[in-house]
C-alpha cells in the first residue's frame, strides 16, 4: 500500500493535461495541523465546521476542506485562502472561474478517517471512497439501487466476496454519478459498471445513450486501510498518479 501512495515529490507535482492526480488525505491529523488548516477556511466553511456535534466530524471536515484548499492553492500558485468555490445546482463544488486561469477541476470523497481528492485539467471527474464494513442488508440495497445486470452479477459473487463486491460496485457507480455531477437526480439503473472479483473497473453500458459509456474511463483506486475507491474521468487519454498527503505539506 505505501508504495502505491508515495509522499509527493518537491516541488509540488505539476498536473499535465493527460493526467489525473489523486491524493489520499488522512482526516484525523494532529491538532496543530488542524489549527493551521482551519486558518485557511472561509467564514462559511468555519461556520459549517462549528455546527458539527462531534469533534471527530469537525476535525474531518476541517482537514478535508483545508487540504483541498492547500492542494488547489499549490496547483494554482495561489494562497489557499484565496481559493473561491462555486456550486452547481446539484451541489457539486468547483473553482469559481478566474479570467485567464487554468481549467482545473476536482472532486472529493470522504469517510470519517480518510478522503480522496482528484484533480484534472479540462476534464470532468468524480471520485468515491467507502469503508468496507459488514452489510447484512447488501442484497436489499443492491436490489434497490443497482441495475438489473449489476444485480445478476452481484448474485453470482461467492458469499465470502460479497461485501467487497457490494462496496466496489457502489463506489464505481458513485464515481460516475459524481463525475456527471447530477447527484441523486440521476437514475442509478441507467448504467452498468463492472465490479465482480478480478474484473477490471469499467463503465459497461449507459442508457438511453449507449455512446455515453465510451466517453468515460473508470479506474479502481486501492486506498488501503479497509477502504475501496473508484475514479471516473472523461476521455481515455489520461493516466492516474496517486499521492499520500503527508500532514505537514504543502
Ligand atoms: C452527494 C453525492 C454526490 C455523494 O455523496 P456521498 O457519497 O455521501 O459523499 P462523498 O464523501 O463521496 O462526497 C461528498 C463530496 O462530493 C462533492 N459533491 C457534492 N455534491 C456533488 C455532486 N452533485 N456531484 C459531484 N460531487 C459532489 C462535495 O465535495 C462533497 O463534499 P463536501 O460536502 O465536504 O464538500 C450523492 O451522490 C449522494 O448523496 N449519494 C448518496 C448515496 C447513494 O445513494 N448512492 C448510490 C450508489 S449505488
Whether 168 is in the pocket of ligand 1, judged by its Cβ within 6 Å, is: no
Which residue, judged by its Cα, is nearest atom 21 of ligand 1?
92
CB count, 10 Å around CB of 127?
28
Pocket test for ligand 1, best of 46, 71, 91 (most atoms within 8 A of CB): 91
How many whole angstroms from its chain centre is CA 106?
A: 9
Q: How far apart are CA 114 and CA 55, in angstroms?
A: 16
77 DSSP assignment: T
Residue count (the chain): 250
pLDDT for residue 1: 38
pLDDT for residue 248: 61
Which residue, judged by its Cα, is nearest atom 29 of ligand 1?
108
CB of 91 within 8 A of CB of 134?
no
Whether 181 is in the pocket of ligand 1, judged by its Cβ within 6 Å, is: yes
Q: How far apart are CA 177 and CA 155, in angstroms?
A: 23
CB of 62 within 8 A of CB of 49?
yes
The pTM assigned to this predicted structure is: 0.95
**Among 227, 226, 115, CA closest to 171:** 227
**Among 73, 23, 89, CA closest to 231:** 23
Which residue, judged by its Cα, is nearest atom 17 of ligand 1?
92
CB of 125 within 8 A of CB of 232?
yes
Which residue, judged by its Cα, is nearest atom 12 of ligand 1?
109
Q: How far apart are CA 110 and CA 61, in angstroms?
A: 9
Residues pairing with 118 in the sheet: 22, 107
Mean pLDDT for each consecutive 10-residue tract of the chain (250 residues)?
75 95 96 96 96 96 97 96 95 92 96 96 98 95 97 96 96 98 91 95 97 98 94 98 80
pLDDT for residue 250: 45
β-bridge pairing 239-244 and 19-26: parallel
Task: Tell me if residue 214 falls in helix, strand or coil.
Answer: helix
- Domains in the chain, ordered, with CATH? 2-121+239-244 (3.90.470.20), 129-230 (3.90.470.20)
CB of 188 within 8 A of CB of 177?
yes
Amino acid at each position: 500500500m505505501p508504495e502505491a501512495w508515495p509522499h509527493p515529490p518537491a516541488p509540488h507535482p505539476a498536473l499535465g493535461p493527460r493526467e489525473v492526480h489523486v491524493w489520499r488525505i488522512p482526516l484525523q491529523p494532529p491538532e496543530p495541523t488542524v489549527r493551521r488548516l482551519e486558518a485557511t477556511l472561509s467564514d462559511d466553511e468555519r461556520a459549517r465546521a462549528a455546527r458539527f456535534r462531534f469533534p471527530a466530524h469537525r476535525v474531518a471536515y476541517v482537514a478535508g476542506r483545508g487540504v483541498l484548499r492547500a492542494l488547489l492553492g499549490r496547483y494554482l500558485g495561489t494562497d489557499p485562502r484565496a481559493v473561491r468555490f462555486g456550486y452547481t445546482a446539484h451541489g457539486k463544488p468547483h473553482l469559481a472561474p478566474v479570467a485567464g486561469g487554468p481549467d482545473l477541476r476536482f472532486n472529493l470523497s470522504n469517510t470519517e478517517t480518510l478522503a480522496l481528492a482528484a484533480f484534472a485539467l479540462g476534464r470532468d471527474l468524480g471520485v468515491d471512497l467507502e469503508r468496507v464494513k459488514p452489510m447484512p442488508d447488501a442484497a436489499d440495497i443492491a436490489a434497490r439501487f443497482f441495475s438489473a445486470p449489476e444485480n445478476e452479477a452481484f448474485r453470482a459473487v461467492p458469499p465470502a466476496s460479497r461485501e467487497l463486491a457490494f462496496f466496489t460496485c457502489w463506489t464505481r457507480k458513485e464515481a460516475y454519478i459524481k463525475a456527471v455531477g447530477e447527484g441523486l437526480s440521476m437514475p442509478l439503473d441507467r448504467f452498468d459498471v463492472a465490479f465482480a472479483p478480478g474484473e477490471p473497473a469499467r463503465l459497461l453500458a449507459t442508457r438511453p445513450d449507449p455512446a455515453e459509456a465510451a466517453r468515460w474511463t473508470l479506474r479502481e483506486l486501492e486506498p488501503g486501510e479497509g477502504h475501496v475507491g473508484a475514479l471516473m474521468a472523461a476521455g481515455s487519454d489520461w493516466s492516474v498518479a496517486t499521492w499520500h498527503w503527508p500532514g505537514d505539506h504543502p
